[in-house]
Amino acid sequence: MKKKLVIVSALSALFLPLFLVVIIMGAFAGSASSNGQAKGLQTKLTAKEVAQKANISEERASDVIKILNHELSQEQFTIAGASGSLAVAERESGFNPKAVNAGGGVAGYFQWSGWSSTINGNRWSKAKQKKLDSDIELDLLSTELNGSYSKVKTEMQKATDPEEAALYWSEHYEGVALSDGQTKTSDLKKNARKWYNLFKDTLTGDTANAKTQDGGGVTSDGVPAGYSLTKAINTSNYTSATYPWGQCTWFVYNRAKEVGVNFDPYMGNGGDWKQKAGYQTTHTPTEHSAISFSPGQAGSDPTYGHVVFVEQVKSDGSILISEANAKGLGVVSYRTFDKATANQFTYVIGK
């Protein structure tokens, strides 16, 4: 009996430190994981600031922030997409999670059907609990966006125009035909633009649809949340007899023309554009200019270099660029660079 106790004690002394190490490491891993999940793109504005800027109560401003942050961080909407959605929520409920329309049997931020009657359907049936509460309603929103309304989510993740996003959300998520007077098209578009302008330069945290780090910038398939285009890209109209289809030069030449900027049809390879006679260059980030990357710079081709188009220069000095052939011939993608990195590039000013 004594021998067994000695053996057990010895084994306990041997494995206890190892057991504690495993527990501690697990705790740190869990903490890191939860922190990573919690971090997402959000507005820096407080409810008081939003209330003052939008002329609404702090209580409703708090609801605006809840909806916005949820759509940006949890559903990866662009700021244009989220702004469009906010405009519809403003029309439907005034951002009041307890808003009820007994006649239509609808209630909540987005006036989901099935609250007091099923005359217009029963979307409340998918809620975890039938309660007028902001968290429950945002959970219902996510359930729908990741289920039967997944196409709406996809559109909001790539939206670049808040007014168009509002109209799409109204028609395809709310189910209100654009020809229906309930759409209130003019007010809807005005409010979408209002929320977009209010929040576009206030975002912080992880870029919502950022995929990879590339040459000091963050690459994404769609326009990252917090950034925007002055005009949508439509490559179906792109043409050039001098630049091969799908190459970076083909894209920048045509994209520039699309926004009213002209470059010579014989600028050369991407890395040659900054050497072209007759064109001004600068190291100051300039919207609607071209960045000519030397071979190997910012992950560009080691022989020919690369050229990209500057879509936006933000007040914090960061830039959004669009480019082709970084992810495949003819494939358009986006990158963002912080101020320090952006100031290292050579910008070619078009005519």
Quote the distance between the C-alpha of residue 141 and its chain's center.
17
**Given this model, what pLDDT does residue 11 score?**
42
Buried/exposed 98-125: b ≥16 CB within 10 Å, e otherwise: ebbeeeebbbbbbbbbbbeeeebeebbe
**Given this model, what pLDDT does residue 241 score?**
82
The answer to whether domain 45-204 and domain 212-348 are alike in fold is: no
Task: Enter the tokens of residue 200.
Answer: 């576009």
Report the DSSP beta bridge partners of residue 308.
291
**Given this model, what pLDDT does residue 12 score?**
45
CB 351, CB 332: distance < 8 Å: no
Tokens 């990357």 locate to 293
* Secondary structure letter of residue 125 according to DSSP: G
Reported as a single tens digit per residue, the pLDDT across 19-50 is 444 333 343 333 333 333 334 678 999 999 99
**Given this model, what pLDDT does residue 35 score?**
30
Buried/exposed 144-180: b ≥16 CB within 10 Å, e otherwise: bbeeebeebbebbbbbbbbbbbbbbbbbebbebeeee
Backbone angles phi, psi at 292, to 5 degrees: -100, 110
Extents of the domains making up the chain: 45-204, 212-348
Rounded to two decimals, the pTM is 0.54
For the segment(s) 45-204, the CATH number from 3.50.50.60, 3.40.50.720, 1.10.10.10, 1.10.530.10 is: 1.10.530.10
H or E element: which one contains 223? none
Report the DSSP beta bridge partners of residue 320.
312, 336
d(CA 7, CA 1): 10
d(CA 10, CA 4): 10
Task: Enter the tokens of residue 60.
Answer: 């409703």
d(CA 273, CA 281): 10
**Given this model, what pLDDT does residue 5 score?**
41
Domain 212-348 falls in which CATH fold? endopeptidase fold (from Nostoc punctiforme) (3.90.1720)
**Given this model, what pLDDT does residue 120 score?**
94
Task: Enter the tokens of residue 237.
Answer: 């109209």
Tell me the Cα Rg of the chain.
26
Task: Enter the tokens of residue 121.
Answer: 């359907």
CB 325, CB 265: distance < 8 Å: no
Residue length of the chain: 351
Task: Enter the tokens of residue 288.
Answer: 């609607």
d(CA 326, CA 303): 15
Q: What is the pLDDT along the chain (351 residues), one digit of tens a residue?
A: 333 344 344 444 444 444 444 333 343 333 333 333 334 678 999 999 999 999 999 999 999 999 999 998 888 888 889 999 999 999 999 999 999 999 999 999 999 999 999 999 999 999 999 999 999 999 999 999 999 999 999 898 888 789 999 999 999 999 999 999 999 999 999 999 999 999 988 887 644 343 344 455 676 778 888 899 999 999 988 988 899 999 999 999 999 999 999 999 999 999 999 999 999 999 999 999 999 999 888 888 888 999 999 999 999 899 999 999 988 888 899 999 988 889 999 999 999
